[in-house]
Structure 1
Amino acid sequence: MVAGGLALVLLLGAAYAAGDRFAGEPATAHAPGPTASGDPHLDTEDGHDHGAHEGTEGEPAVYDPGAAPGPQFRARDATLTPTPPGREHRITLTVRESVREVAPGVRQRTWTYNDMLPGPTLRGRVGDRFVVTLVNEGSTGHSVDFHASQVAPNAQMRSIKPGEQLTYTFTAQRAGAFMYHCGSAPAVHHIGNGMFGAIIIDPPRLAPVDQEFVLVQSELALGPQDGLARLGKLYRAEYDAVTFNGYAGQYRFAPLTATTGSRTRIWVVDAGPSAPTSFHVVGTVFDTVYKEGAYVLRPDDTSGGAQSLDLAPAQGGFVEFAFPAPGEYPMLTHRFADATRGASGLFQVAPR
């Protein structure tokens, strides 16, 4: 545990340090997921049966909140890059399958865009045109649904078979922190296996800040080691771990860094597929809150402050603040059961 982990132990309870799965609740056996049955809710549009390959054989992997990652661990860089120049953005999203570590000692077979979990963060301005080429190198049908777009779903969001590709073109007409994801049936399985990401469309006259971060929260419904997520658990919203940027608890082991007095903006997108969040940074008060395309609080409102950013699945926004002093500041969802399951981390703040 890194320095500052004591603060998280105090917040999340002794079970975090001891490694209990649910803050002291004993592990329970899960019923096996659905099997191949011809049920259209289990099949993709190209006829691939998810019940047959979701990994119902063997016991699901177990997330231990007290475990530490191995020497090969590398945290996802949460820094948000500046808005790219130009008004047209051409992007290729390639669907691939791979086994990766999603929590200390826990490996799952994931479906991803560009070998990233979550997929790459896209960014632009209102009025920008996006030309996205989707390439399917997976073993089943896949698609992409940009929540920032206004298009006919049966055309640009349609599933494509392995080996196929399509071009998805849209102009961003509204600002916000949006989700994108695979919408092929059953969408809950495609999202649960890693097919999601964030697309940020800057609000007009977005104020400059010293540093920006992006956190995408999502749940893990673990299947067997090296297997796919359990579809039955996803249908029942029975998840084992919760992540920021695809790996449970990663910023406890590789804290984000900042300096005192620096203006900080954190974008948050809740990718779900089912759990809400209440994002909070301990020891701070947010003076700016932007949620679902609108400012809830602005810094010129000197009489008010906010303690959290609440988001339902498929919602997004940002908060702004400045760290008041050097030290270690926990960040987490204030839905504490999910913070215990991995949706927590640290900021290490140095003097300016």
Structure 2
Amino acid sequence: MNRSLLLASSLIASFLLASSIAFVPYFSANNVVRAQETENQGEVKHITLIASEKQVQVAPDNALHPGGIMYNAMVFNGTIPGPVISIDQGDTLNITLKNEGQTIHSLDFHAGFGPSKAVSGSVKPGESKTWSLTGEFPGVFMYHCGADGLNGVWEHISNGMYGGIVVHPTNEEPAKEFYMVFSEIYNSADKGPFVGTNGTAGSFDIGKFISKNPDLVLTNGMSHKYVPAVGEVNKLELNKDAEIFKVKPGELTRWYIVNPGPNDGVSFHFISGILSVKDGSNTANNGFGTQDINDETWWIPPGSGSVIESTFPEGGVYVGVDHAMADVVKGGAFAVLAVENSTATDHPEGTCVPAKGEGIVCTAAEAEETQAEGAAGENQTATDDEGNEAEDKGANNNENGNEAEDGDSEVTQNATMLNTTGGNTTANGTMMAGNMTGNMTGDMGGNSTMGS
């Protein structure tokens, strides 16, 4: 055997050995992943994520999608996206994955550092796994299903198995905080704009996926979920049930924006607004590192999250968009109303994020404390071990409608915030460069319309 052949054989063997080591965490048959050891003195919190398959609505009934669009999805805790998970830097998070679905699922936490913390390994139907990670780095990070050792991960992400975990830094300025997930749907039954699916619930389309041609861009699980209409003169109604984000003029807001993709990036922009990006770690002050200040647009690649801060200087209508215009047509936008009587509890359902020092779940009481200069309130987390029931000032909290793994307690993850009265509010503003409604009226319960 000549020297070149020996060298080639050696290189191939080395590559195979390295590859086998690299992918051991994904293909491991170990039933329990070792918990991460830490010297930090943070709290220990627990989250249960339940994997299943279900049919969900991904587009409202409108002219673009007659009759609305239903889709055969894969979900965590019953919804797209999965619940936002909120911990503080240094906290230990115990994660339980229960597979109540019909196929193999798994979890990949981008906030985990090391294979025994980041990935669960495959979990067969009817089984569960528990492991731990420590929130070492502040920011917002994606979590998603890794399917069966990466085999089919593209389909599971495309089908809705993703969410975000927020790690609050030690020194974090109080702000009103929101959870927002942009994502894509590749639907076998969707025939395109103004046609839709003719009432057929579709499934993952590998051809559309490979060609990177999504039918819809979702915001927190639905196309145009937070956009009632476009058009100031010629109005096109998009979602008569749309909820609107509400903030006070001049109030600091913080948006935890996650882009699971699976293919496209998000060119995030606030129409009529300026944004700053707070991501990564700043070891000098135990806070966020700052990548960008007072910018117009920020690129969020697939598989990533960014912490966006913005102050809306005056009353009126602002719009958060993926500034790739095709993605706006497909659903990638949400409306923000700056109005004086906005309250701490008027988040659209599923968008509240517990502030630093508070529970893993978001309750109305915690949101009030967040707005009141970030005062650390009583931890209202109902854990599986304690079996307690979280109280939401009389509201029944549940984890996206699912029971916690142990005990009979129900916890709120992505809670519906208590509706507050305060009269109807009206703000005039120009959206979508003059083409996205000039008059937006909304009540504090979240029922809003935009139109001339």
**What is the TM-score normalised by the length of structure 1?**
0.70
Residue 223 (structure 2) pairs with residue 248 (structure 1) = yes
Offset of residue 173 of structure 1: 1.5
Question: Residues 24-35 of structure 1: matches in 2 within 5 Å?
Answer: none
Offset of residue 168 of structure 1: 2.3
Answer whether contact 2:138 2:279 (CA < 8 A) is retained.
Answer: no
Answer whether contact 1:292 1:315 (CA < 8 A) is retained.
Answer: no
Answer whether contact 2:117 2:133 (CA < 8 A) is retained.
Answer: no
Indicate how the Cα distance of structure 1 residues 292 and 269 shifts in structure 2: closer, same or farther if over 3 A, else same: farther
Alignment correspondent of 1:221: 186
1:279-328 CA deviation, whole Å, 9 max, x = no partner?
A: 11111112x31235531145xxxxxx211221101121122222122111
Indicate how the Cα distance of structure 1 residues 258 and 155 shifts in structure 2: closer, same or farther if over 3 A, else same: closer
| One-letter amino acid of the counterpart of residue 219, structure 1 | E
Offset of residue 150 of structure 1: 1.9
| One-letter amino acid of the counterpart of residue 249, structure 2 | T
Answer whether contact 1:260 1:349 (CA < 8 A) is retained.
Answer: yes
Answer whether contact 2:117 2:131 (CA < 8 A) is retained.
Answer: no
Distance in 1 of aligned mates of 2:212 and 2:117: 27
Offset of residue 227 of structure 1: 3.1
Aligned residues: 261
1:123-147 CA deviation, whole Å, 9 max, x = no partner?
A: 1122111111111010100001000
Distance in 2 of aligned mates of 1:156 and 1:311: 23
Residue 246 (structure 2) pairs with residue 257 (structure 1) = yes
Alignment correspondent of 1:195: 161
- Secondary structure, aligned partner of 1:251: coil
Distance in 1 of aligned mates of 2:201 and 2:102: 16
Distance in 2 of aligned mates of 1:335 and 1:291: 23
Indicate how the Cα distance of structure 1 residues 91 and 189 shifts in structure 2: closer, same or farther if over 3 A, else same: same
Bigger Rg, which one: 2
Distance in 1 of aligned mates of 2:122 and 2:211: 25
Offset of residue 221 of structure 1: 0.6
> Which of the residues 281, 296, 305 maps onto 1:307?
296
- Secondary structure, aligned partner of 2:209: helix
Offset of residue 202 of structure 1: 1.3
Question: Residues 285-304 of structure 1: matches in 2 within 5 Å?
Answer: 285-286=274-275, 288-293=276-281, 294-297=289-292
Offset of residue 347 of structure 1: 0.8
Question: Residues 102-181 of structure 1: matches in 2 within 5 Å?
Answer: 102-104=58-60, 105-152=68-115, 156-181=119-144
Distance in 1 of aligned mates of 2:181 and 2:56: 18
- Secondary structure, aligned partner of 2:154: helix
Answer whether contact 2:277 2:291 (CA < 8 A) is retained.
Answer: yes
Distance in 2 of aligned mates of 1:271 and 1:260: 31
Alignment correspondent of 1:183: 146
> Which of the residues 319, 322, 342 maps onto 1:333?
322
Answer whether contact 2:109 2:119 (CA < 8 A) is retained.
Answer: no
Distance in 2 of aligned mates of 1:129 and 1:337: 41
Distance in 2 of aligned mates of 1:156 and 1:247: 27
Tell me: higher relative CO, structure 1 or 2? Use CA pairs within 8 A at least 6 residues apart.
Answer: 1
Offset of residue 233 of structure 1: 2.0
Answer whether contact 2:90 2:134 (CA < 8 A) is retained.
Answer: yes
Alignment correspondent of 1:30: none
- Secondary structure, aligned partner of 2:46: strand
Offset of residue 152 of structure 1: 2.2
Residue 173 (structure 2) pairs with residue 207 (structure 1) = yes
Offset of residue 232 of structure 1: 2.9
Question: Residues 65-76 of structure 1: matches in 2 within 5 Å?
Answer: none
Answer whether contact 1:332 1:345 (CA < 8 A) is retained.
Answer: yes
> Which of the residues 293, 306, 309 maps onto 1:320?
309
| One-letter amino acid of the counterpart of residue 114, structure 1 | N
Residue ranges of structure 1 left out of the alignment (5+ in a row): 1-43, 46-85, 299-304
- Secondary structure, aligned partner of 1:191: helix
Offset of residue 217 of structure 1: 0.8
Question: Residues 47-58 of structure 1: matches in 2 within 5 Å?
Answer: none
Answer whether contact 1:325 1:351 (CA < 8 A) is retained.
Answer: no
Identity of aligned residues (%): 33
Answer whether contact 1:156 1:167 (CA < 8 A) is retained.
Answer: no
1:22-79 CA deviation, whole Å, 9 max, x = no partner?
A: xxxxxxxxxxxxxxxxxxxxxx98xxxxxxxxxxxxxxxxxxxxxxxxxxxxxxxxxx
Answer whether contact 2:110 2:118 (CA < 8 A) is retained.
Answer: no
Question: CA-atom RMSD, angstroms?
Answer: 2.0
Indicate how the Cα distance of structure 1 residues 102 and 169 shifts in structure 2: closer, same or farther if over 3 A, else same: same
1:135-193 CA deviation, whole Å, 9 max, x = no partner?
A: 10101000010000123269942111111111121112211210000011211100001
Offset of residue 204 of structure 1: 2.8
Indicate how the Cα distance of structure 1 residues 156 and 332 shifts in structure 2: closer, same or farther if over 3 A, else same: closer
- Secondary structure, aligned partner of 1:118: coil
